[in-house]
A and B are shown apart, each in its own frame.
Chain A
C-alpha cells in the first residue's frame, strides 16, 4: 500500500486543492488549511506535501502567469487528478463504512 496511502495531513491538503479548483498553490493552500484546521502551519510543510502528492500521482501541476506581487516569480498551480479524486472517495467511503458499523448507542455516549 505504500505510495498510495493518504495520511491525515495529506488528505486535508488534497481536499483543499480540489476545493480551490484552479487557484491552488503554496500560499492559497496554506491559508485555507490554516483557516480550516485552526493551527499554524509552516509553508515548507505545505510544499513538501504538495510535491509528494504530485509524485504519488494525486496531483498535477503547471506553472501560472507572471505577477508583480511575487517579485516576478510564477506560481505553480496544482490540480487534482482523477486518481486523486478516486483515492479521496475511497478514503471517504472507508470512513463511512466504519462509521456505519459503529453501534448507535456508542455514538450517543
Chain B
C-alpha cells in the first residue's frame, strides 16, 4: 500500500462541506457512519477509492431534509431579499442598454460554443484507443530499416514470429498478438451460402487475420463466443454485431458457415465462432471481420514459414502487452540483441533493423509510418486547435472585462447613490459579481443553443462520426462548469473591484476619471485580442496556401479525368487463363471505344499504399545488400494512362517481344538508390529482384512521382510488365464525354464480369481524399479564426463607443473651434490604429514560428509568404475601422450644443 504511516483520513473538504450544510441534530451519527464506512472501504479499495466514495456520499447527502436550519431559516430572509434585488438591478441594467448586453452575452456565448466544439473534436482525436483496458501497457512494435547506413523506411508492420519470440525471450512481455491486413489490400467477398433466402454476399474492407491472443488482449466486447478460444482453430471467424445482423438477421450466428473468397484465389468455408460489439470510431484498428491466422497456415506448402515462423516477410502488425510496471525504454535496449539472435545474416548484408515500441494510444496522432492500418491523424493541428479554443474563450472574457469596466461611467452614479445610502463595498462587489454570474449563465444557455444549431455543420466540418455524441462527452460538461466559474468570478472580479471603488462625492458631482492603470490594462487587452486575430488570419492563409499548393503541385502524373474500376472479386477462377481472357476482353473492348483515351490494368492506384515491396539490388551490388523498392505491375499502357514522364530510355512496348519477360522501368529515385546518379547510366543494366529470385533489365527511367500524399517523399519504385495483375482498371476519358464513357464502361463490365456489381471512382477525388485531415484542419482553422475576429470586433464596438462617449466634451469643443468631421474621426480612430499595429507586430514572430513548424510536417511545402502578414494587417485594420466607425462617425457628427450641455 502506498499510504504513509499516519492513519489515512477522509477528505477534509468533504467533511467541511458536510459540516456546513448538515443540521446539528444528525451531524454526529452521519459523520460517524461515514467514517466507519471509510475505514471499512480502506482495505477493500485502497485509500484513493475510499476517499472518492466518501466524497460522493457527502455530495449525495446534500438533500433538503438534512439541511441546517440556518440554510432554511428566516436568517436568510434578508439575503434572499437582497438577491432578488440584485436580480432586479441586473435585469434592469441589461435591459437599459440592450446593445451592450447583446454584445456582451452573445460574444461570450459564441466564444464558449466555439471553444467547446473544438474541445469535442480535440478530445475525440486525442482519446483514440483509450477505451481499451490496459491501453497503457500495450505497444505496437514498429520496424526501422537501414541499408548501408542509409535510412530506408519506418514500417508499422513487422515479422510474423516477433510477438511470440518477445514473450519467450523477455519476462516483462506478457501477451502478444499480431494481425495480417489483407482487407484493405485485397478484394474480399464473404458469402452466407446456406441462407434460407438468397445467398448474402458482402464485400469487406474492414477485415483482418488475427492471432488467437488478439481478442482477449484488446478486451474485445464479446456478445457471443469466448474471446480466449474463438480464434484458436483454423477456418474460424469472429464478426461484429452489425455484420452478423447483415448476414443472419435475428438468427444465432454461432456455428454458421461463411464462405471467404478473395482475388488471390482463396476460397474457404469458415465457421463463425464469436460475435463482438462493433468497434468504436476512435480506434486505429477498425474491423468487422477477424479470421484466425491459423487459417493461413494451410494455404500452401511454405505457409507456416511465411505466416508464422519465418523472419522473411515483414507484414504483420505486432502488438505486445508489458507487465504493468515494466519500462518500455529498458525493453527497447534489449531489441538489438534480439535482432542479432534471429536474423544473424543482417550484419553481413550491411543492413540494420531497429524495433520500437509505440504506445497504443499514441498511434493515431503520432505515428506516420509506412503501412499504417488507416490514415492517421496529426498531433500538431490538435495542439493548434486547443490553443485556438483557449484563446477564443479568453478573448470573450477580455471583451467582458473591457465592456464592463468601460461602462463604469453609466454605473458610477448608481454606485455613488448606493454608497451614500450606506452600502458597503463588499455588498457592491457582491452585486456586481452577481451580475457577472447572471450574464455568464445567460451566455452559457445561449452557447448551448448555438452548439445545438451548429452541431450538424460541425460534424460535417470536423469529420467526427455522428455517433460520437457531443452531449455525452463528460469533458465538455466539466469544461463548461469551469468556464462558468472562472468566467463569472475571474472576469467579473476586476470590473466589480473597479466599480465599487468609486468615491461617492466625485461620482455624484459628475467628475469622473478613469485611472491610468485601468486604461493601460484595457489597451493591453485590446492588443491581445487583435494579436490573436492577426495570428489566426495569417495561420488560415498559410494553411490555405499549403492546401492549394498540394492540390496544384506537379505530382509527376496526371489524376484528372481518370475513372478507376476495381477488379471483380468473383471472376472465372476455374483457371488463370480464363480470368486473363476476361481481363483482356474488357480492356480491349474499351480501347475500341471513341470516348476513351487510354486504358490500362494496374496493380496499384495512386493515393493508396503500394502493397508490395520487393528487395532489389543492382547487378554490381553484393548479394543480400538490398533495397526495398515499391513494386508496381501494370499493362503496356500504364505509364501513358497515368501521364508519367519518361526521362531516359523508353516505355514498355508491344514492338519488343522481350519486354514481356525481362524489361523493367525504375523511377529516378530508384535508379539513384541502386547507384546510378545519372538516369541514362542505368539503361540496359540488370537489377536483381531477390524476393522473387529473378532478374530484369532496365529499359527506361520514369520521373519520380508522388504516389501518395505530398506529406511523404516520392517513393522509389520499380515497374514491371504484368497486364494480368489487374487489381484496377485505370480508364482515362475525354472530359466532355464522362457520362457516356461511364455508360459504356458499365455495359462492357456487365457483359464480361456478369454477376459483379459495377462500382467506380474518380482518381482525382480518391487521391485528394488523402488530404482529409488537412482539409478538416483547414476548415476548422478558418471557421474559428473568423469566430475569434467576430468576437474581438464585438468588444471593439463596445469599447469605441465608450471612448467616444468619454470624449464627448472634447469633441464638442473641438468642433466649436472648427474641427471637421474627418478630423474628429481621425482623432478617435488614431488610438486604435496604433494598438492594431502593435498587436500585429507582436503576433508576427509567434505565428511565423507556429506555421513554420506545421509546414515542416510536409515533405513538399510552400513557403510562408510575407505578403500574408501585410494582408492580415490590412484585414484587421479594415474590420476594426469599420467597427469603430459606427460610433466615431456618430459622435463626430453630434451637434456641439448637445455634447457641451450635458454637464
**A interface, CB within 8 angstroms of B:** 25-27, 30, 42-45, 47-48, 51-52, 55, 63, 69-71, 73-76
Q: How distant is the Cα of A45 from the Cα of B57 in the complex, in angstroms?
A: 9
Q: How distant is the Cα of A70 from the Cα of B29 in the complex, in angstroms?
A: 9
A26 partner, pick from B33, B39, B58, B65, beta carbons under 8 A: B33
CB of A60, distance to nearest CB on chain B (Å): 14
With contact pairs A44-B63, A45-B60, A47-B61 given, residues A76 and B39 touching in the complex (Cβ less than 8 Å): no
B57 partner, pick from A42, A51, A69, A75, beta carbons under 8 A: A42
The answer to whether A51 and B39 touch across the interface, beta carbons within 8 angstroms, is no
Residues of B within 8 A of A73 (CB): 28-29, 31-32, 35
In the complex, B16 has a CB within 8 A of chain A: no
Residues of B within 8 A of A47 (CB): 30, 33, 61, 66
Q: How distant is the Cα of A62 from the Cα of B774 in the complex, in angstroms?
A: 70
Name the CB-closest residue of B to A51: B65
The answer to whether B60 and A75 touch across the interface, beta carbons within 8 angstroms, is no
The answer to whether B32 and A44 touch across the interface, beta carbons within 8 angstroms, is no
Q: How distant is the Cα of A33 from the Cα of B30 in the complex, in angstroms?
A: 18
B33 partner, pick from A43, A48, A55, beta carbons under 8 A: A43
Residues of B within 8 A of A26 (CB): 29-30, 33, 37
Residues of B within 8 A of A27 (CB): 33, 36-37, 40
The answer to whether B35 and A71 touch across the interface, beta carbons within 8 angstroms, is yes
The answer to whether A43 and B29 touch across the interface, beta carbons within 8 angstroms, is no
With contact pairs A43-B57, A51-B26 given, residues A74 and B63 touching in the complex (Cβ less than 8 Å): no
Residues 52-79 (chain B) with a chain A CB within 8 angstroms: 56-58, 60-61, 63, 65-66
Q: How distant is the Cα of A51 from the Cα of B29 in the complex, in angstroms?
A: 12
Q: How distant is the Cα of A53 from the Cα of B278 in the complex, in angstroms?
A: 47
Name the CB-closest residue of A to B32: A73
CB of A16, distance to nearest CB on chain B (Å): 15
The answer to whether B33 and A75 touch across the interface, beta carbons within 8 angstroms, is yes
Q: How distant is the Cα of A43 from the Cα of B32 in the complex, in angstroms?
A: 12
Q: How distant is the Cα of A102 from the Cα of B65 in the complex, in angstroms?
A: 40
The answer to whether B32 and A48 touch across the interface, beta carbons within 8 angstroms, is no
CB of B756, distance to nearest CB on chain A (Å): 52
Known: A27-B36, A44-B61, A63-B29. 8 other contacts (CB 8 A): A42-B57, A43-B33, A43-B37, A47-B33, A51-B66, A55-B65, A63-B28, A74-B32
In the complex, B547 has a CB within 8 A of chain A: no
**B interface, CB within 8 angstroms of A:** 26, 28-37, 39-40, 56-58, 60-61, 63, 65-66
- 6 example contacts (A-B, Cβ-Cβ < 8 A) are as follows A27-B40, A44-B58, A45-B60, A70-B36, A71-B35, A75-B33
CB of B141, distance to nearest CB on chain A (Å): 41
A74 partner, pick from B28, B56, B66, beta carbons under 8 A: B28
Q: How distant is the Cα of A48 from the Cα of B31 in the complex, in angstroms?
A: 14
Residues of A within 8 A of B40 (CB): 27
The answer to whether A48 and B29 touch across the interface, beta carbons within 8 angstroms, is no
Residues of A within 8 A of B37 (CB): 26-27, 30, 43
With contact pairs A27-B40, A48-B65, A69-B36 given, residues A74 and B29 touching in the complex (Cβ less than 8 Å): yes
Q: How distant is the Cα of A4 from the Cα of B33 in the complex, in angstroms?
A: 27
Q: How distant is the Cα of A45 from the Cα of B29 in the complex, in angstroms?
A: 15
The answer to whether A43 and B34 touch across the interface, beta carbons within 8 angstroms, is yes
Q: How distant is the Cα of A75 from the Cα of B35 in the complex, in angstroms?
A: 11
Residues of B within 8 A of A63 (CB): 28-29
Residues of B within 8 A of A71 (CB): 31-32, 35
Q: How distant is the Cα of A70 from the Cα of B61 in the complex, in angstroms?
A: 19
Residues of A within 8 A of B26 (CB): 51, 76
Residues of A within 8 A of B28 (CB): 63, 73-74
Q: How distant is the Cα of A47 from the Cα of B29 in the complex, in angstroms?
A: 10
Name the CB-closest residue of B to A61: B29
CB of B764, distance to nearest CB on chain A (Å): 58
CB of B736, distance to nearest CB on chain A (Å): 72
* 10 smallest beta-carbon distances between A and B, as pairs: A73-B32, A26-B33, A70-B32, A76-B29, A44-B61, A44-B60, A71-B35, A43-B57, A70-B36, A27-B36
Residues of A within 8 A of B34 (CB): 43
Q: How distant is the Cα of A44 from the Cα of B21 in the complex, in angstroms?
A: 14
Residues of B within 8 A of A75 (CB): 29, 32-33
Residues of B within 8 A of A51 (CB): 26, 65-66
The answer to whether A69 and B39 touch across the interface, beta carbons within 8 angstroms, is yes
Name the CB-closest residue of A to B62: A44
The answer to whether A70 and B65 touch across the interface, beta carbons within 8 angstroms, is no
Residues of A within 8 A of B57 (CB): 42-44
The answer to whether A70 and B30 touch across the interface, beta carbons within 8 angstroms, is no
The answer to whether A42 and B30 touch across the interface, beta carbons within 8 angstroms, is no
Name the CB-closest residue of B to A73: B32
Residues of B within 8 A of A25 (CB): 29, 33
Residues of B within 8 A of A45 (CB): 60
CB of B20, distance to nearest CB on chain A (Å): 16
Name the CB-closest residue of B to A52: B65
The answer to whether A70 and B35 touch across the interface, beta carbons within 8 angstroms, is yes
| Most A C-beta atoms less than 10 A away, residue of B33, B57, B60 | B33
The answer to whether B29 and A42 touch across the interface, beta carbons within 8 angstroms, is no
Residues of B within 8 A of A43 (CB): 33-34, 37, 57, 61
Q: How distant is the Cα of A89 from the Cα of B40 in the complex, in angstroms?
A: 34
Name the CB-closest residue of A to B10: A71
Q: How distant is the Cα of A47 from the Cα of B39 in the complex, in angstroms?
A: 18
Residues of A within 8 A of B32 (CB): 70-71, 73-75
Name the CB-closest residue of A to B63: A48
Q: How distant is the Cα of A55 from the Cα of B28 in the complex, in angstroms?
A: 19
The answer to whether B56 and A42 touch across the interface, beta carbons within 8 angstroms, is yes
Name the CB-closest residue of B to A46: B33
Q: How distant is the Cα of A27 from the Cα of B37 in the complex, in angstroms?
A: 7
Residues of A within 8 A of B60 (CB): 42, 44-45
Name the CB-closest residue of B to A72: B32
Q: How distant is the Cα of A52 from the Cα of B714 in the complex, in angstroms?
A: 76
Q: How distant is the Cα of A52 from the Cα of B32 in the complex, in angstroms?
A: 19
Q: How distant is the Cα of A82 from the Cα of B32 in the complex, in angstroms?
A: 28
CB of B878, distance to nearest CB on chain A (Å): 60
CB of A87, distance to nearest CB on chain B (Å): 20
Q: How distant is the Cα of A71 from the Cα of B35 in the complex, in angstroms?
A: 7
Q: How distant is the Cα of A73 from the Cα of B18 in the complex, in angstroms?
A: 15
Residues of B within 8 A of A74 (CB): 28-29, 32
CB of A58, distance to nearest CB on chain B (Å): 15
| Most B C-beta atoms less than 10 A away, residue of A26, A52, A55 | A26
Name the CB-closest residue of B to A30: B37
| Most A C-beta atoms less than 10 A away, residue of B30, B31, B40 | B30
CB of B276, distance to nearest CB on chain A (Å): 28
CB of B397, distance to nearest CB on chain A (Å): 37
| Most B C-beta atoms less than 10 A away, residue of A42, A44, A48, A76 | A44
CB of B51, distance to nearest CB on chain A (Å): 14
Residues of B within 8 A of A76 (CB): 26, 29
Q: How distant is the Cα of A69 from the Cα of B33 in the complex, in angstroms?
A: 10
Residues of B within 8 A of A55 (CB): 65
Residues of B within 8 A of A69 (CB): 36, 39
Residues of B within 8 A of A42 (CB): 56-57, 60
CB of B370, distance to nearest CB on chain A (Å): 49
CB of A70, distance to nearest CB on chain B (Å): 4
Q: How distant is the Cα of A47 from the Cα of B31 in the complex, in angstroms?
A: 11
Q: How distant is the Cα of A81 from the Cα of B66 in the complex, in angstroms?
A: 22
Residues of A within 8 A of B65 (CB): 48, 51-52, 55
Q: How distant is the Cα of A73 from the Cα of B29 in the complex, in angstroms?
A: 6
Q: How distant is the Cα of A43 from the Cα of B58 in the complex, in angstroms?
A: 9
Q: How distant is the Cα of A71 from the Cα of B56 in the complex, in angstroms?
A: 20
Residues of B within 8 A of A30 (CB): 37
Residues of A within 8 A of B33 (CB): 25-27, 43, 47, 70, 75
